[in-house]
Amino acid sequence: MTARALWMAGSVAVTALIIFVWQLVANYSGIAPVFLPGPDRAWNALVAGFSGGDLPRLTYATVERMIYGWALASVAGIVLGAIIGSSQLARDYVAPMLEMVRPVPVSAFMPVVIAFIGLTGKMIMIVIAIGAVWPVLLATVHGVSSVEPRLVEVSKSLRLSRLETIWKIALPNSQPDILAGMRIGLTVALILTVIGEMLTSENGLGYHILMAARAFRSADLFAGVILLGLIGLTSNVILQEIERYMLRWKRR
């Protein structure tokens, strides 16, 4: 607890220092406020957006898309990863294709998805799923394929079916890898949500930031960026706590 408290205090101190330097640069560097507002103006825009503006509704829309797309990618990644990871034959034939497709940026798939679905909210969900599935999929494949051989022997001695072996042995053993992949996938989901909202003009923080930039409303732009950072931080902290709870058996 002491180490964690010191870490949090250090993080707060570094954040405060960055905000202080930002304020000094905004006040005394000669950069026009239309390009670089100070943290005070960004904070005022954030407060105004929540007290009487559209930021609550836009934030909800962005978080909802991010969670739905990430959940879809997580389920698909775990299921496919368990199937591939539990079969040596599948790994031999599918792994090369996965390594070929994995480095391809998600932006390369966007025109294909747009051609079939159009610039809609469904397109954002599909793009999020395509981009966020890879960390979960590859982590699950690694975790399932690296199960302790003695556990595999135990499953055979108990005459467990392949599905029972995956459910009762492989997936629980792969929890650290899967949860780590899901955390990375959530970050990817947030990034793709913002990009998708900018492309489709769907209501959300991404579109709000784009419109603020076009109208030179720099305070609103920075307020939106700060809000996205808070969403990313909050979601990561929540997943960390879930991971700590689910993996509490490792600390015993």
Q: Which amino acid is at 218?
A: S
- Give CA–CA dist 204/27, Å, rounded: 31
Distances (CA, A) of 173 to 23, 54, 134, 159, 165: 49, 44, 20, 19, 11
Task: Identify the H or E element spanning 242.
Answer: helix 218-246
Note the CATH architecture for domain 42-251: Orthogonal Bundle (1.10)
Distances (CA, A) of 22 to 9, 36, 41, 46, 220: 20, 9, 12, 17, 16
| Amino acid 212: pLDDT | 92
- Tens of pLDDT along the chain (252 residues) come to 577 778 778 888 998 999 999 999 988 888 888 888 989 999 999 999 999 878 999 999 999 999 999 999 999 999 999 988 888 888 878 877 877 777 777 877 788 888 888 888 888 889 999 999 999 998 999 888 887 777 777 777 777 777 888 888 888 888 889 999 999 999 999 999 999 999 888 889 999 999 999 998 999 999 999 999 999 999 998 998 888 888 776 665
Q: Is the distance from CB of 124 to CB of 64 less than 8 angstroms? A: no
Going by C-beta distance under 8 Å and a sequence separation of 6 or more, which residues neighbour residue 37? 26, 45, 218, 219, 222
Instruction: Give SS3 for 148.
Output: coil
Angle at 21 between CA 33 and CA 37, to 5 degrees: 15
Distance (Å, rounded) from C-alpha 122 to C-alpha 223? 27
For tokens 């199960």, the residue is 147
The pTM of the full predicted model, rounded to 2 decimals, is 0.87
Residue 252: its pLDDT value, please?
Answer: 58
